[in-house]
Chains A and B, each alone.
Chain A
Amino acid sequence: MEIVFKRPECLIDVPFHFCPGCHHGIVHRLVGEAIDYFKIRERTIGVASVGCSVFMYDYFNIDVLEAPHGRASAVASGVKRARKDLIVFTIQGDGDLGAIGIAEGIHTANRGENITLIFANNGIYGMTGGQMAPTTLLGQKTTTSPYGRNFTYDGYPIRMAEMIATLEGSAFVARVAVNNPSNLMKAKQAIRKAFQMQIEGIGFSMVEVLMSCPTNWGLSSLEANRRVEEEMIPYFPLGIFKERKMADYL
């Protein structure tokens, strides 16, 4: 019998620690599938950020390095500059990339570092228990915005993909979601494309993934998926914002 669906080779056969319905596991799988597709498991380095994806090293059957909170893109650039033959990616939350590490994220993109950044945007600080994130939507209640995010006090949710796309240094920038099969297929393509850009040396690639955090949103898995569709996507439109055909220096 032909096997049509299996665990990616570069994922270890252990249960994820993620809460039920959390999209982090799906994103791990999509990254794993891209690594398998390009057969680069033996030369890929993952850089874990501090957030719910920090345990990347327990799940990926590849070399993994842990970065301080917010610094994953700087750490990944250091790896890549030292070893250009390696494929380097990060998974960074919205607190990690959009708040504490926004300088490193912008400058990594602006230098056109040839790495791949997976931006896990769930609009909340998952790991620390549901505080307001830079991408928390207006009106959204969190443990530190108990009255709902109010722009006069908290500013507006940041659209990272659009911002990174404006930088000359970025080569590929997309925003995807994984809340239904059709979006998931597009997400898979985008993540694959992002790795391809790196493999071909075209430059910095980032895929922003709109993700659920059922636990800290206080919703069931299904409700959370629906919220991605009804509340997140209208503010964070899906699509490809930037796609270079070749490296700037070619």
Chain B
Amino acid sequence: MDQSCEKVLVRGNEAIAMGAIDAGCRLFFGYPITPQNEIPEYLSKHLPPLGGEFIQAESEIASINLLLGASATGSRAMTSSSSPGISLMQEGISYMAGSELPAVIINISRSGPGLGGISASQGDYFQATRGGGHGDYRVLVLAPSTVQEMYELTYLAFDLAEKYRNPVMILGDALLGQMKEPLIRKKPPPMDLPPKDWALTGAKGRKPNRIKSLYLQEGELTEHNWKLYKKYERMKQEEIRFEVIETEDAHLIIVAFGSMARVARSVVEMARREGVKVGLFRPITLFPYPEKPLREISRRVKHFLTVELNTGQMLEDVRLSVERDAEVYFYGKPPGALPTPEEILEQLKKYYGRSGSA
């Protein structure tokens, strides 16, 4: 059987590890934390036979800095963690954004604040999409919603990280990491990527390369920040990814990402069976946020229900995206049990009535 196209039943976390290996990632650094342990466990087994390196670091701070060092050589490298660990990594992520280093960071997030719990949550949305650490920077954030996507988006993350020389984060959660689904392990088509002439490989036959984020000369840092800004603007032009379901004739559209979008999908099916015309808008890139397509839809549809596993974070991006005369409602659940489709449908019907179509 063609190895590049096998079909397997795996957990989301394993799909991420497979995506990384298929993308050519041979270096992994991490520190144990639930609910992402299957990623380091899988890679500790599968990287060494491929000539790769696995380090169980002493902390997430060490992990992110090992990643910084490995990335600086132009090698494909990754770390994964869950919310508290991702908080510890923020300084390193800021340095990598400032030093323009590609890197892939997986956050199989859990609930907070503090030690919180290990249940699924989308409480890290702000941290992921607003930079997360100090300084005016962004990381590109991809939000898978199926096991297949966890594989494909991880693969894509390595390409995007190199395309932009910027960290890319996969934002999943406990539910996505732990659930099993069939995966078709087929590599996406290759991307044309710029040469890594910036990498530290030894100054042989060329001038020394310097990778740093310190800029002290007059005007240098201003210029550097504008350069980074342009990169984020380019991401907005070229990297927007989203999915729409039954939006064409919808009177109300649910906006949800990741595991919440899975529940929302069932809500749309149930509603449609009852003749309630709702659709789903699912952002796949959380930064850059699919503002334009959402605004486009809001010219026609005036009622949006944002559903999140938190008390309202992506809600802000939805409000910023839609036309001013559109109504944005919110149904959120802080960490604990996932809302059922029935529960959301009931909420939705309240607002659906207001859309004048009930």
List the interface of chain A (C-beta within 8 A of B).
41-45, 47-48, 54, 57, 60-68, 71, 74-83, 86, 103-104, 106-107, 111
Contact A63 B200 (CB under 8 A): yes
| Docked complex Cα distance between A81 and B48 (Å) | 12
Question: Which chain B residues border A103 with CB–CB below 8 Å?
Answer: 58-59, 61-62
| Docked complex Cα distance between A65 and B210 (Å) | 6
Contact B210 A104 (CB under 8 A): no
| Known A-B contacts A48-B212, A65-B211, A68-B92; A81 and B59 likewise in contact (beta carbons under 8 Å) | no
State how many residues of chain B have any CB contact under 8 Å with chain A: 37
What distance in Å separates the Cβ of A57 from its nearest Cβ neighbour in chain B? 4
| Docked complex Cα distance between A85 and B212 (Å) | 22
Among A42, A81, A111, which residue has its beta carbon within 8 angstroms of that of B203?
A42
For the complex, is B68 an interface residue (Cβ under 8 Å from A)?
A: yes
Question: Which chain B residues border A64 with CB–CB below 8 Å?
Answer: 200, 208-212
Contact A43 B61 (CB under 8 A): no
Segment 171-219 of B: residues with Cβ below 8 Å from A: 200-205, 208-214
Stretch binding the partner chain, chosen from B71-79, B278-286, B347-355: B71-79
- Residue pairs across A and B with CB atoms within 8 Å: the count is 129
Question: Which chain A residues border B213 with CB–CB below 8 Å?
Answer: 66
Question: Which chain B residues border A42 with CB–CB below 8 Å?
Answer: 202-205
| Docked complex Cα distance between A61 and B207 (Å) | 8
List the interface of chain B (C-beta within 8 A of A).
27, 29, 53, 55, 57-59, 61-62, 65-73, 75, 77, 91-92, 95, 99, 200-205, 208-214
| Known A-B contacts A65-B72, A66-B99, A79-B69; A43 and B53 likewise in contact (beta carbons under 8 Å) | no
| Chain B residue at minimum C-beta to C-beta distance from A111 | B55
Contact B68 A75 (CB under 8 A): yes
| Docked complex Cα distance between A107 and B208 (Å) | 29
Among B27, B65, B72, B77, which residue has its beta carbon within 8 angstroms of that of A71?
B65
Contact B210 A68 (CB under 8 A): no
Question: Which chain A residues border B67 with CB–CB below 8 Å?
Answer: 78
What distance in Å separates the Cβ of B177 from its nearest Cβ neighbour in chain A? 25
Given contacts A64-B200, A71-B92, 8 further A-B contacts (CB under 8 A): A41-B203, A43-B204, A60-B208, A66-B212, A68-B65, A77-B66, A78-B29, A79-B70
| Chain A residue at minimum C-beta to C-beta distance from B210 | A57
| Chain A residue at minimum C-beta to C-beta distance from B59 | A103
Contact A78 B69 (CB under 8 A): yes
| Docked complex Cα distance between A68 and B99 (Å) | 11
| Docked complex Cα distance between A74 and B65 (Å) | 6
| Docked complex Cα distance between A42 and B62 (Å) | 27
| Docked complex Cα distance between A111 and B92 (Å) | 21
Q: Which 3 A-B pairs have the closest CB atoms?
A: A78-B69, A74-B65, A66-B212
What distance in Å separates the Cβ of B93 from its nearest Cβ neighbour in chain A? 10
| Docked complex Cα distance between A83 and B199 (Å) | 12
| Chain B residue at minimum C-beta to C-beta distance from A103 | B58
Contact A57 B65 (CB under 8 A): no
| Docked complex Cα distance between A68 and B59 (Å) | 15
Contact A83 B75 (CB under 8 A): yes
What distance in Å separates the Cβ of A26 from its nearest Cβ neighbour in chain B? 22
What distance in Å separates the Cβ of B189 from its nearest Cβ neighbour in chain A? 26
Among A61, A76, A82, which residue has its beta carbon within 8 angstroms of that of B77?
A82
